[in-house]
Amino acid sequence: MPRKGEQFAGLTVALVTPFRDGDIDESALRKLVDFHVESGTDCVSPVGTTGESPTLSHEEHRRVISIVCEQAAGRIKVMAGTGSNSTQEAISLTAFAKDAGADAALIVGPYYNKPTQEGFLRHYQAIADAVDLPIVLYNIPGRTSKNIEAETIARIGEHKNVVAVKESTGSMDQASQILASSDLTILSGDDSLTLPLLSLGGSGVVSVAGNIVPGDVRQLITAFREGNLRAAQEWHYKLFPLCRDMLGLATNPIPVKAAMQLLGRDTGEVRLPMTPLDEQQIAQLKKTLQAYGLL
């Protein structure tokens, strides 16, 4: 069946939020957007998990969305992170993103307060009713502490404004069930699972590794789309150690920011309670980047 969110197929990069001396580094953020336009990235997603949204003030959160939309200027799609564990706050942020010119809102499942499945349904319905903007559900129970079940996602997906799911459960069964029971587009929320999800009928990825090698992540997706499974597998295995360390050395986005610093693309600064990698972890990361051919 045709899928609702295919305008967001391909590579979306989960943007880091650059900091300098504790503040948002606006010029670095604008350069990042330009880099992704030049790299052929399909879409950027500011202020998600990788963008350290939990440590941004509401004013900063809005400012990052504004800067990214302004710099994108229609050259690249913007899927702004607007989720919250407060439904009213999520509505307010989503309305702001629409006014700023975002193409979609990426809305994480409410965290900490652990709604029932009915609570998830009504939360997303309320946002989708309030703001006429394409909505991408973001299901990451490892962070939110509660899974939005496949049946619930299918029900939420009956709303015309809900078009896709960023699938970060790590469960191929859950992804299969969503694909079988709804017309939602599925985007991988884990770089190392992009190829398996594409093989099930997924359409792309919201990528952390794409901050560093957007062209290579695109190559994997393109190879798969063109029916060249062997090339897609080769890209998967080339990217795999990088993806593993981006998400395995420490909590995202600590390693990706460290990698960007080593490559001269970011200060590497993270905000408390995030802390930098230790010397041993940096040595491991350097090895990975060298093996990849980046250092």
166 included as an active-site residue: yes
DSSP state of 81: E
218 token code pair: 């695109």
Give the chain's length.
295
Spot the catalytic one: 166, 238, 257, 286: 166
| CA–CA separation, 12 and 56 (whole Å) | 21
Contacts of residue 185, Cβ cutoff 8 Å, sequence gap at least 6: 3, 4, 5, 6, 8, 9, 163, 164, 165, 203
| CA–CA separation, 81 and 12 (whole Å) | 12
Contact 131, 167 (CB under 8 A): no
Torsion of CA 80, 84, 89, 92, to 10 degrees: 20
DSSP state of 47: S
Packing angle of the helix pair 214-225, 229-248 (nearest 10 deg): 140
Q: What share of the chain is helix, strand, coil (3-state, %, to 5)?
A: 50, 15, 35
Spot the catalytic one: 4, 98, 138, 257: 138
Contact 53, 44 (CB under 8 A): no
Alpha helices by DSSP H, listed for 73-206, are 87-100, 117-130, 141-144, 150-156, 172-181, 194-200
138 included as an active-site residue: yes
Catalytic residues: 138, 166
